[in-house]
Structure 1
Amino acid sequence: MTSTRLPGKILKEINGKSLLLYHLERLATTGLPVIIATTENVTDDPVVEFSKKNCIPYHRGSENNVLSRYYNAAVENSLDVIVRVTSDCPLIDGQLIRAGINRYLEEGNESTYLSNVLKRYFPRGFDFEIFSFSLLKDAFMNAQTTSDLEHVTPYINQNKSGKVNFLDVVDSEDNSDIRITVDTPEDFLLLDKLIKNYSADVLSGKEITKLFRKFPELMQINAHIEQKKL
């Protein structure tokens, strides 16, 4: 809720529905339960109220040590595999994630880190990472830098343990120039247009991508926005 560039962004509404609810509805197509890992700050009390109202499990932890928040949420819910997504991606593609989960499980290796973020072919806003509780625990026990603690997975995806097996999910075409994450007013304006004018909330990831190629003016709405650096 304390986003510096767009405060309260995840509970901002389009057509009477919050971005967080759009996000969760699209994640529901994975067939997996979702846990909201939020902070102990009073400013995130509305997120907890949202979770209670919608019967979504939640965990509250440190604002800055997000790695510990993830670890404790996983322990609390007895997880053995974690799929990490961020709540500023309301049009995330649940079926893309489901395919990633299937591939991860086929690998059968708890040292595997599978994602579509290291080799970026998909639009920013479709991001996901999959890793074992074992890798998460190793990061929790050994990570020390501020960046590792704040951003959860750098200790894992930079292979600081030296034992990570990488699997990259890439698309047949490079669509990494498309930005559908929400961090600024311009990002929100784009989401508002996508949902109100094109019903993007019920489209697949591929269909959303095609919209941007068919109507390139959509990309100009937030083309100048730079993603924050880790």
Structure 2
Amino acid sequence: MKTVAIIQARMTSTRLPGKVLREVLGRPLLGYQVERLRRCRTLDEILLATTGNATDDPVAEFAGREGLRFWRGPEEDVLARFAGAAEMAGADIVVRLTADCPLVDPELVDQVVSTLTESDPPFDYVSNAGTGTLPAGLDAEVLRADALFAAHSEAIVRQEREHVTPFIYNHPERFACRMLRHEPPIEGQRWTVDQPEDFELVRRILEALYPQNPAFTYRDVLALLEAHPDWTEINRTVSAKPKPVKSNDGAYPEQA
């Protein structure tokens, strides 16, 4: 089976425009994310899914410099973008990632992928997001391409098309889903980049860790923040993204 990571990326973020290509130590945030994902043992390819808008030409140009294939599709219909990218890549397994997560950890991505690919009976969808047990920014969603294509074919609700995976985990009667909790929980931290305060924290983390050890892990970040507890206050008041939509029976996908 071919496992493909698809990163959704665009330049027109309302909160922090151009954030995905903002530079730290002369390298764009998206470059750090791609570099870290290349250390995953479970991925066969990394793709970018951006829009057809001229404003996102820099994202396509970045992909070219990095030797990555990319797919351009509708700005609002992110589900269509993912389906197009997955079909182009011939993916069997899709890993959904967002470009505002430069500290994504290969170990955690591999854990989510392996949980799906080694499941028996098989899962259709596995995620470590939405449990509140990992810092925002370490999220990964993994789904079978057949489930993605079914969602693309059938989803009509706007939120299901903007956020790619709700159609799947909102239909547990059709798709077997699993949510992974991290133990021990790491609560109350944001390592994603949505607003200027988030960028300031991530900038400090990269400047402190990357020059000495480009392959630093989430454990290294935790140790750094324990040594600098005031840093976690930088983006403490930034609002978190909404939780995933509940399934039809009122419950989130199975947690473990």
What TM-score, normalized by structure 1, do the two folds share? 0.94
2:194 aligned with 1:178: no
CA contact (8 A) 2:123 2:178 kept: no
* 1:116 alignment partner in structure 2: 128
* 2:47 alignment partner in structure 1: 35
Q: 5+ residue gaps in structure 1? A: none
2:30 aligned with 1:20: yes
SS in structure 1 of the partner of residue 221 of structure 2: helix
CA distance in 2, matches of 1:21, 1:50: 8
Give how far 1:195 is off: 1.2
SS in structure 1 of the partner of residue 207 of structure 2: helix
Q: 5+ residue gaps in structure 2? A: 1-10, 244-256
2:93 aligned with 1:81: yes
CA contact (8 A) 1:51 1:58 kept: yes
Give how far 1:94 is off: 1.0
* 1:126 alignment partner in structure 2: 138
Q: 1:2 aligns with which of 12, 29, 37?
A: 12
SS in structure 2 of the partner of residue 30 of structure 1: coil
Q: 1:165 aligns with which of 176, 183, 186?
A: 176
Q: Which has the higher helix share?
A: 1
CA-based RMSD of the aligned residues comes to 1.6
Q: Name the aligned partner's letter for residue 142 of structure 2.
A: I
* 1:213 alignment partner in structure 2: 226
CA distance in 2, matches of 1:110, 1:144: 26
Q: Name the aligned partner's letter for residue 163 of structure 1.
A: R
Q: Name the aligned partner's letter for residue 179 of structure 2.
A: D
1:201–1:56 CA distance, 2 compared to 1 (3 A): same
Q: Name the aligned partner's letter for residue 242 of structure 2.
A: K
Q: Name the aligned partner's letter for residue 88 of structure 2.
A: E
Give how far 1:109 is off: 5.1
Aligned residues: 229
CA contact (8 A) 1:124 1:176 kept: no
* 2:147 alignment partner in structure 1: 135
* 2:253 alignment partner in structure 1: none
CA distance in 2, matches of 1:170, 1:9: 29
* 1:92 alignment partner in structure 2: 104
1:74-94 CA distances to partner (integer Å, 9 max, x unpaired)? 111111110111110000001
CA contact (8 A) 1:111 1:163 kept: no
Give how far 1:213 is off: 3.2
CA distance in 2, matches of 1:98, 1:229: 25
**Alignment identity in percent?**
34
* 2:215 alignment partner in structure 1: 202
What TM-score, normalized by structure 2, do the two folds share? 0.85
